[in-house]
Structure 1
Amino acid sequence: MIVTAVPPGAALRSGDGELHSIAWSDAPAYTSEPELVPPTGPLCVVHRDEHCVVVEKPAYLPTENTERIKDSVRARVEALLGADADVRIPHRLDWETSGLLVLALGSEAMRSLSMQFASRTVRKSYVADVVGAPPARLGTVRLPLSSDPDRRPRQRVDFGASGKPAVTEWAVERSTPHASRLVLRPETGRRHQLRMHCLALGCPIAGDGLGGGTAHAEAQEAGPARHRLHLHAAELGFTHPVSGEPLHFRSSPPF
């Protein structure tokens, strides 16, 4: 990812009201491509009914099949539920990110869940291990993002017409001199938003390959040893798409 189009004097406002300038880097913030082999083993289903399914997606399993990877959360849920299952995807997790993901079953559930995500009423939080520490114990990053046309699928900070609003709240859960664990709550859902916003805070997510980001990634997935991105969707709360019942799920990070 290349961070560009940042006006002079750009700053972040922390929870204590202080302004912090941003130090930018032109180094890539994209992990080296691992072996294109999704993790083996059954998909962990944490909730299932006739209208929706909530699963724990492992790192390196795409939400949907890709051109090179013919295995995904969708494919595994369809195999679990049978050929007649009408599986639909109201949101996604990046293939390197693990954690909670909800899938709709049928058009009615899909419409309800899509509206909840669009209206930002879904409660989401992520756990991230980062290298270093942010400038304060808590705060909010507001930096617009857009796709970098010259370096797809990378993103860039973009204050121009093509930049889309991106907002992330952060809080430090614990910290050492060299690394921190953050709780991240995105108000928006831009591609690679959490990676870019942690990078802007000066503390890249461990395993993200920028500025020492790989130095703290010691966890390994099952199968061939490989470092992983230390980003996990740890909390997901939404209204059941048919009954209206509030549902809330938590998942502990595997790193």
Structure 2
Amino acid sequence: MSNNNRNQFQEYHLEVPQEETSGTRLDKYLASKIEETSRTKIQEAIKDGHITVNEKKEKASYNIEPDDIIDVQIPTPTPPDITAEEIPLDIVYEDDDLLLVNKSANMVVHPAKGNWSGTLVNGLMWHTDELSEPEEDTVRPGIVHRLDKDTSGLLVVAKNDKAHRILSEYFRTKEIERTYWAIVWGTPDEKEGTITGAIGRDPHNRKRMAVVPEDKGKHATTHYKVLEYFDHLTLLELKLETGRTHQIRVHLADNNLWGFGDQKYGGDSVRYGPNTGSRKQMFQNLFASLQRQCLHAKTLGFEHPTTGEIVEFNSELPGDFQQVLGMLRQNCKPNHIY
């Protein structure tokens, strides 16, 4: 599947593989393949004649066949003008080409439907007039990569188009070194290991991602190392080899290592150990104060796009993460791993 974004349409070209089973409705098939849109929008596009099968307009109820060629145009609304907003930002480094920001939790990276203000981009536009301007993208100036709203930590931001191109290529070719810290329920079988599994839209809940068959998603690899054991919980360091949506959270949950506090993927309840008395109350209090997953993008390293120098950055754990860590060390029998 390929896609382009121009003329206010998101365009896709799909060829139904030989092994695909006949009989799936056109709208259902497209909804499972195109992550960025909903089945309702697909049905509207079919009704408006923006979707063709083998160069013919078909109904949403059309049953796809192997070798069908499907061309899709999903209308995209024109985004409103993005305005600068005075939002406090933790800038850990800045020069003429880039800056590093330690993003707080509960902050969306860039404007989008439902979040046109209060984002990191709005704050960056207040902080500096120098941000890269990716072609045909007016809502993500400077943004090279993203973090989930409730994941805290380091992001690199490009201040000119040259730096943006080079940094984007680093991410594409895996030349960026980045590590995350996470507190998870359970204990991995090994102190160090690798989790693999394609990630795609959860077929049972389109608001979530899931590990899916390789032909249904995008290949993903996550490396982990145990930093500290607790009673039924673990502090992990994680390294991404790929950068899929919710990758760490999905890979962990798929291996019964739910991220502590993760409301979307099942980490916001006591998964292991007794759930009674003072232990139950402690975790209820932590969930109530945390209100997010205990996941932090801790380090970022790469070759500077202008000087060629290797630069490495490390960030402090935010207060809510430190609070959970402190309570676990105090009450859940920590065993340090060096």
TM-score range, shorter chain: 0.7 to 0.9
Task: Find the residue that maps to 1:233 and give its secondary structure.
Answer: strand
Alignment partner, residue 292 of structure 2: 228
Structure 1 pair 67–237 and aligned structure 2 pair: CA distance change class (3 A): same
Higher relative contact order (CA 8 A, sep 6+): 1
- How far apart are 1:184 and its partner, in Å? 0.6
Structure 1 pair 220–100 and aligned structure 2 pair: CA distance change class (3 A): farther
Alignment partner, residue 90 of structure 2: 44
* Contact 1:100–1:236 under 8 Å retained in 2: yes
1:76 to 107, 119, 123: 123
| CA distance, structure 2, for counterparts of residue 186 and residue 97 of structure 1 | 15
- How far apart are 1:68 and its partner, in Å? 2.1
Alignment partner, residue 143 of structure 2: 89
Matched, 1:248 2:312: yes
| CA distance, structure 2, for counterparts of residue 58 and residue 89 of structure 1 | 16
Structure 1 pair 218–103 and aligned structure 2 pair: CA distance change class (3 A): farther
> How many residue pairs are counted as aligned between the two chains?
212
Q: Percent identity?
A: 33
| CA distance, structure 2, for counterparts of residue 142 and residue 207 of structure 1 | 23
Alignment partner, residue 148 of structure 1: 202
Residue 305 of structure 2 aligns with an amino acid whose one-letter code is: P
Task: Find the residue that maps to 2:256 and give its secondary structure.
Answer: coil
Instruction: Name the Cα RMSD after superposition.
Output: 2.2
Alignment partner, residue 188 of structure 1: 242
Residue 99 of structure 2 aligns with an amino acid whose one-letter code is: V
Task: Find the residue that maps to 1:173 and give its secondary structure.
Answer: strand
Task: Find the residue that maps to 1:75 and give its secondary structure.
Answer: helix
TM-score, normalization by structure 2: 0.59
Structure 1 pair 214–47 and aligned structure 2 pair: CA distance change class (3 A): farther
Alignment partner, residue 54 of structure 1: 100
- How far apart are 1:220 and its partner, in Å? 8.0
Q: Provide, for residues 184-207 of structure 1, a one-character-per-residue CA deviation record: whole Å limited to 9, x for no partner.
A: 111000101101111122110001
Task: Find the residue that maps to 2:127 and give its secondary structure.
Answer: helix
Structure 1 pair 54–212 and aligned structure 2 pair: CA distance change class (3 A): closer
TM-score, normalization by structure 1: 0.77
Superposed structure 1 runs of 4+ greater than 6 Å apart: none
Structure 1 pair 50–218 and aligned structure 2 pair: CA distance change class (3 A): farther
1:169 to 211, 220, 223: 223
Alignment partner, residue 37 of structure 1: none
* Contact 1:135–1:201 under 8 Å retained in 2: no
| CA distance, structure 2, for counterparts of residue 217 and residue 126 of structure 1 | 25
Residue 78 of structure 1 aligns with an amino acid whose one-letter code is: M
Structure 1 pair 150–161 and aligned structure 2 pair: CA distance change class (3 A): same
- How far apart are 1:93 and its partner, in Å? 0.4
* Contact 1:206–1:229 under 8 Å retained in 2: yes
Structure 1 pair 50–179 and aligned structure 2 pair: CA distance change class (3 A): same
* Contact 2:181–2:236 under 8 Å retained in 1: yes
Q: Provide, for residues 158-186 of structure 1, a one-character-per-residue CA deviation record: whole Å limited to 9, x for no partner.
A: 11422211100111100112211000111
* Contact 2:108–2:149 under 8 Å retained in 1: yes
Which runs of structure 2 are paired with 1:106-185 in the superposition (5 Å)?
106-148=160-202, 151-185=205-239
Choose between structure 1 and 2: higher helix proportion.
2
| CA distance, structure 1, for counterparts of residue 260 and residue 287 of structure 2 | 13
| CA distance, structure 2, for counterparts of residue 67 and residue 139 of structure 1 | 38
Q: Provide, for residues 42-95 of structure 1, a one-character-per-residue CA deviation record: whole Å limited to 9, x for no partner.
A: 11000111110100000110110232221111111111113x543421110011
| CA distance, structure 1, for counterparts of residue 198 and residue 107 of structure 2 | 28
Structure number with greater Rg is 2
Task: Find the residue that maps to 1:154 and give its secondary structure.
Answer: strand
Q: Which runs of 5 or more structure 1 residues have no equivalent in the other structure?
A: 1-39
Which runs of structure 2 are paired with 1:5-44 in the superposition (5 Å)?
42-44=88-90
Task: Find the residue that maps to 1:198 and give its secondary structure.
Answer: helix
